Chains A and B, each alone.
Chain A
Amino acid sequence: MAKEKPDLLQGTLDLLVLKALQLEPMHGFGISVRIRQMSDEVLQVEQGSLYPALYRLEEQGWIKAEWGVSDNNRKARFYQLTAAGRKQLNAETENWERISAAINLVLKGT
């Protein structure tokens, strides 16, 4: 996997992760499962992309992590949204809707 992803995709993944964490805190594996479920098996996030995204989001202060115990009694790191993260989620969602609408317009045109 390349170190540099096209900016659009990276931003999108961040958005998905934030969305996945909207309801409750989850560990990495759970987030990838969640995204798969929510996208109806279309979006399969590789761990290679997921964890860098998680660390990046943590760096920027939109999610925070804690060590906890998972269902199978294993130690795992649970991520949850911070207040700033929630605001960022709203902002990015708006942004995404605006951009995708614009792209659709362009594609529909002749």
Chain B
Amino acid sequence: MAEEMRGHLEMQTRANLDAGMSPDEARYAAQRQFGGVDQLKEIAREQRGFVWFDQLGQDFRAAVGGLAKSRRFTVFAVAILALGIAVNTALFSVIYGVLLRPYPYARVNEIWVPRLSAVQAGSGVGGLRIGEYLAIVGLPAVAQAMTANPQQATLAGGINPEVVRSVHMSSTAFDFLGVAPVVGRTITPSDYQSNGDPQPVAVLSYKLWQRRFNGDPAAIGQSLTLNDQPHVIIGVMPPRFAWHTGDGLWVPLATKQLQQGTNVLVRLKPGFTSEVAAQQLRALLLEEQRKTPNRFPKEGFRVQLDRYPDVAGASGQVRSSLHLLLFAVGFLLLIACTNVANLQLVRATIRRRELAIRLALGATRARLVRQLLGESMALSLLGGASGALLAGWLTQVIIKLLPPAYVPVEARVELNLPVLAFCAGLSWLTGVVFGLVPAWQSTQVDLNEALKSGGHGFSRGGRTRGGLVIAQVALSSLLLVSAALTIRGFVRSSVFDSGFQPERTLMLRVPLTPNRYRTAAERNTFTRELLERMVRLPGVISVAAGTLPGMEGDVVYAIPGMMIPDGARVTANAMSADYLSTLGLPLRAGRNLTAQEVAFGDPVALINESAAKLWTDGRTPIGRIIQLNVPAPLRPGPQPAATADGKRNVTIVGIVGDIRENGLRTGARPGVFLPYTLRGGTQRLLIVRTEDKPLNLLGLVREELRALAPGQPLDQPVTWEELQAVETAVPRFNMALFTVLALVALGLAGAGIYAVLSYDIAQRTRELGVRIALGAARTDIARLVLVSGARLVACGLALGLAMCFPLAGLARNRMTGLGALEPAMVIAAALVLAATALAACWLPARRATKVDPMEALRSE
């Protein structure tokens, strides 16, 4: 178009020249005739259809320009939006990675886990066995099945033999799970000989591969010695593949031992529901029951299929607290959005005059709305972009802080595309929604009124702004209270009395594998020798061997003359003679076991306080009998009678304090402490009470063990303090997250109050100037401002605190470890909020007192 015009101009000039004018005249005349080119362009453009597009570009440029002018506002608003969006997105990333897609296995929702339960609650049912697995493969409803049996194996070679998790996988297991190896291949049916025996091959986990082979692909084909048997390495799995182990290895399962217990998973054929499959499985098991009735409870059993993610995924407690966190973060986002909305309103009110003038000059209302909307969209785009960057960083921080209990081993939390889309969508939405209201409001301007100078007091929209501030304060107070709750929960969990004195104890698991110690007698001999050697080491106060509650399973028991509820169990722990003193476990009544009773495995035992409560007739349980499944004692002499189902009488000789092994969440379970010679079992915990730091002795202990039994592996040692840290990890994480949220919310609320008050003071400059001129003291002015701010805060606090009681009740049901809402917490939260609000009001108040009356009266 410009070219066309220029061409025309030239032709006109030439014509003028021909008509006899001088060159300058000709050009001048031509240009005069032409008129303003730009105006022409404008008109011409408007005739065209591309008008709206051009105008949009103009509006955007104007929007950006407008934002750039009021830089403080822009930075403020963008920061607020970015913060809200970042926190929300980061948390959403975590939830996505932990709850929604933690597993790399193929089609995880289609994997089913059979579950057997007894009709009578409490009585147990054994798990499935290999023989049954083989039959399950042939069920009509089953498309694919796999089984895996996690065990320990001793990995030889290197300086220290170590114990690794070796998971025995069925021949089609890797195909079932559908994850490709990074190097080499996985176990297939070809790894079985024709007689059904598996070849000695192994597939390594990524971590193990890195650790022992430094990630060298030449590891394939090399050999590892497991349980004294060489295995050929055939492949390595990717880091996210962690079936039953994250740093162990997988070997083929031998299916010869049909009676061995194992875990089974199935995939169903299309068209078969889980109920149909469960029925078929039940029919199969009823067959089994006829052959071996002892395995199954007499009253009958149920078979049910659960989806794998429900069974293995983040536990209920973790799920619910993540949901709760999402709520809290939603609050934060709301606060951020209301802040931005407030700022928009404030700004729109400031610009009323400008808008009114533009309206008067002929701009259409639609055009103005478009521009204001454009501004808020530009704002939200900026906020969204910086929020995305911040979210990336924040996600990394959260990942580092996540307690391991929260997260399945296979989960990987990262800022991924759906999350980014969520972030972008959120930022756009907040821009539109919170820009629309002020935009619409601002164009409803009464021209006359706006053109008149200055507003007074809380001008139009003041109530909305005030309402928004109240909402912010209320939400912040809620977050503060919840933070207080989590802090309390953490503090409580970290100082809980575990029941014994765990300082300066070193605990090592010494697994006594069946390979080396086939009989109980061998195990007992080894344990005795171990204890004798260890106690002689320098720096050792006392040594004990045994188990802690929870290490081995619960057992059924019977008490003569008492009705025991079905399925009631006690923990059965092993102990050596010095167990009590090494652990620092207090003896409440009766006496300890003697060394001889331990040596011979006499049927005597100690019980803990919780177990003592089982005898409800008021008399002491000391000297009375409890019946447990234990082997016959070693001391020669008359054997005590056994009951029909193999339980023997065990005499109680003492009562010890409870060991609270699960933190404060559960009380202690009733437990019995038997001589280790009686209890049996392959697990031993070596407990060493040291004078100095426990870990200093680790080297000595290892050496001693190696001298006694070369090749005997030791598990990783752990001090009780470390165990405790694991216990408190979940409450600590909750506390950290909620505190951060509350602090951020506090900051935002404070910023909101500050913004609103500053604006109002700016509006009331004239009024304040008049007041001062009429003799009001500076403190009166300050008080005026503070009171107006305090009124808002008080309303918000009242609202928030009123809401927090019912909400806290709701939260407590879903998140354990929170405890009751105490008045002290509420008061503390209120005080913190009030203090922040006061600080936020202070600056505007100070500014108000500095108003120069002459300036105020002169200005608009």
Contact = CB atoms under 8 A, between A and B. Distances in A.
B15 A46 contact: no
A46 B15 CA distance: 15
A64 to B, nearest CB: 15
B39 A75 contact: no
29 contacts: A3-B43, A3-B46, A27-B7, A27-B8, A28-B8, A29-B11, A29-B12, A46-B33, A46-B35, A47-B12, A47-B34, A47-B35, A47-B40, A48-B36, A51-B40, A51-B44, A52-B40, A52-B43, A52-B44, A55-B44, A55-B47, A72-B10, A72-B14, A74-B7, A74-B10, A74-B11, A76-B7, A76-B8, A77-B7
B4 interface: yes
A105 interface: no
B3 interface: yes
Which 10 A-B residue pairs are closest in the complex by CB-CB distance? A29-B11, A48-B35, A55-B47, A29-B8, A76-B7, A77-B4, A52-B43, A47-B34, A55-B44, A28-B8
A15 interface: no
B49 interface: yes
A75 B40 contact: no
Interface in A4-53: 27-29, 33, 46-48, 51-52
A48 B8 CA distance: 12
Interface in B1-57: 3-5, 7-8, 10-12, 14-15, 33-36, 39-40, 43-44, 46-49
Contacts of B7: 27, 29, 70, 74-77
A59 B11 contact: no
Nearest to B15: A33
B interface SS class: helix
A48 B42 CA distance: 11
Contacts of B35: 1, 46-48
Contacts of A59: 47-49
A87 interface: no
Interface string B93-136: 00000000000000000000000000000000000000000000
A1 B33 CA distance: 12
A72 B7 CA distance: 10
B39 A48 contact: yes
B33 A47 contact: yes
A48 B47 contact: no
Contacts of A70: 7, 11
Contact of A52 (B3, B12, B47, B49): B47
B26 to A, nearest CB: 14
A31 to B, nearest CB: 10
B700 to A, nearest CB: 96
B847 to A, nearest CB: 47
Interface residues of B, number: 22
Interface residues of A, number: 20
Contacts of A3: 43, 46
Nearest to B35: A48
Contacts of A47: 5, 8, 12, 33-35, 40
Nearest to B14: A72
Nearest to B12: A29
Contacts of B8: 27-29, 47, 76
B11 A72 contact: yes
Interface string B347-363: 00000000000000000
B10 A56 contact: no
A76 B15 CA distance: 16
A77 to B, nearest CB: 5
Contacts of B12: 29, 47
A28 B33 contact: no
Interface string A60-90: 0000000000101011110000000000000
B42 to A, nearest CB: 9
Contacts of B43: 3, 48, 51-52
B48 A48 contact: no
Nearest to B34: A47
B717 to A, nearest CB: 86
Contact of B34 (A33, A48, A56, A72): A48
Contact of A56 (B4, B36, B39, B47): B47
B347 to A, nearest CB: 32
A46 to B, nearest CB: 7
Nearest to A60: B47
A59 B36 CA distance: 23
A27 B3 CA distance: 12
A74 B40 CA distance: 21
A80 to B, nearest CB: 15
A27 B10 CA distance: 13
A3 to B, nearest CB: 6
Question: B11, B39, B44, B49: which has the most chain A beta carbons within 10 Å?
Answer: B11
Given A1-B35, A47-B5, 12 more contacts: A1-B39, A28-B8, A29-B15, A46-B35, A47-B35, A48-B43, A51-B43, A52-B43, A59-B47, A59-B49, A76-B4, A76-B7
A59 B39 CA distance: 19
A64 B48 CA distance: 14
Nearest to A28: B8
B714 to A, nearest CB: 89
A21 to B, nearest CB: 16
Interface in B453-505: none
B3 A75 contact: yes
B214 to A, nearest CB: 70
A40 to B, nearest CB: 17
A28 B47 CA distance: 17
B502 to A, nearest CB: 88
A46, A55, A72, A75: residue with the most chain B Cβ atoms closer than 10 Å: A55
A36 to B, nearest CB: 10
A27 to B, nearest CB: 7
B478 to A, nearest CB: 57
B741 to A, nearest CB: 56
Contact of B40 (A29, A48, A76, A77): A48
Nearest to B42: A3
Nearest to A74: B7
Contacts of B34: 47-48
Contacts of B46: 3
B20 to A, nearest CB: 16
A56 to B, nearest CB: 5
Contacts of A46: 33, 35
A28 B33 CA distance: 14
Contacts of B3: 75
B50 to A, nearest CB: 11
B248 to A, nearest CB: 76
Given A3-B43, A29-B12, A55 B48 contact: yes
Contacts of A56: 47
Contacts of A55: 44, 47-48
Interface in B31-86: 33-36, 39-40, 43-44, 46-49
A106 B42 CA distance: 39
A28 B46 CA distance: 19
Contacts of B4: 27-28, 51, 76-77
A74 to B, nearest CB: 5
Contacts of A74: 7, 10-11
